Structure 1
Amino acid sequence: MRNIILLAVSLFALLGFALWGVWELWFSVDGEVVMSIHGFIALAAGSVFTLLLGGGLMWLAFYSSKHGYDEREIDPDDEL
């Protein structure tokens, strides 16, 4: 249990540092960054949707593998 908590804290810390880095890089570019609140909402929604889609597809891959959907069906009449 302690390892899981340590892993979660480490991953959230890395996520925080990555978000901080993106924030700093975004606003440090030369020139004025012009994006409305609607642009930020669309960017956030697209990012969240992409992460959910990737996570869902990974879950489906692990689920199908664990429950035998990826196994080759063997016909008893076939010769090995």
Structure 2
Amino acid sequence: MSEGVDWEREFDHTWANSAEHKEPSARARMLAARWRENPPEPVPFRGDLGPARARRASWLSTALVVGCVAAVIALLGWARMRATY
């Protein structure tokens, strides 16, 4: 018998997925045992994150980028003007 046929026979995923009883994973068993003793408290779908923080940092970074771009443009203009003389 060829090796490919043995591989298919040993690892037949369709046969394994069609099993009537499927054992839960180790993590599922561990959580089920933990929750039997201490059930988790209900949590809303999207919990309240609290008050929104100030967004000064985004304005500061935007001003820094615009300032750097303006400085590069001015430097290039100065270098071009200096090269023409």
TM-score (norm 1): 0.37
More helix by share: 1
Larger Rg: 2
**Which structure is higher in RCO with an 8 Å CA cutoff and minimum separation 6?**
1
TM-score (norm 2): 0.35
